[in-house]
Structure 1
Amino acid sequence: MSMSVSMPTGGVQVGSYDTYPQAQAAVDHLSDEKFPVENVTIIGSDLRMIETVTGRLTWGRAIGAGAVGGAWWGLFVGLLLGIFAPSGTSWISSVLTGLLIGVLFGALFGAMGYAATRGQRDFTSTSKITASRYDVMCDPSRAEEARTILARWSLRSQ
């Protein structure tokens, strides 16, 4: 029976930071020092999802959001069809028709989507995933060099 010690994903830790921009700056500094950054990995630990509620979702907002999304698609399709229009007036007609159809279908699909939730989620929100710590990891064969570079950088930054 053979025993092995597994290495953490990404190698060994050469630095640990509270925010992603700090970890990114550390890797950027390694790059500035001509360190082969293809040996480096940033790993976020203790992940959590933060959902920020941005407002109440009503029939009007659901239909309006659907209409706006549909307008963009309709405008896109209208412009594509307008490329093949024989004259300037038919080009404008193609764009306006695509826009109008897009608004109508977008509003319809927005209403259907809102109705399908049956009041289970009557709010809008944005979400993001953050970590409580970001570790800069490195291939073991280059880890000591990376630690030395980051230690000098840390002393200069204080």
Structure 2
Amino acid sequence: MLPTCGELGIGFVPFSPLGKGFLTGKIDQNTSFTDGDIRSSIPRFSPEARQANQALVDLLGRIAARRNATSAQVALAWLLAQKPWIVPIPGTRSLSRLAENVAAADLELTADDLAEIDDIAVKIRVQGDRYPAHLQQLIDR
């Protein structure tokens, strides 16, 4: 899809680029979700999937520590470094998180940072579906 967007001059807007909070590093296999939190019904947020997917969060965290940034900023900066027509729209309910997300635009990852993310991320097989089966059927229509 991305090569077609590039050829046609169409922008791409990734939805939930921080994985509903998972890529921020604030959620792990021991996190409990409150009643009504949609993540409690999403297979990717089962404790087993979160444990299996932790390698990706750890990767972002290592780079964030080196760059004096947050994992969320590294994830967003990586997206922004891909193509100028990729514009992520992270959601937030907090002004402090909004400021954190905006600051990702000023984080310039090095070629080594980008290569490290790409090299390791392709080896990580993300576990768990993005949505419960009943919702995924609606999306797939």
Same fold (TM > 0.5)? no
Category of TM-score, reference length = shorter chain:
under 0.3
Q: Which has the higher strand share?
A: 1
Structure of greater Rg: 1
TM-score, with length taken from structure 2 = 0.21
TM-score, with length taken from structure 1 = 0.20
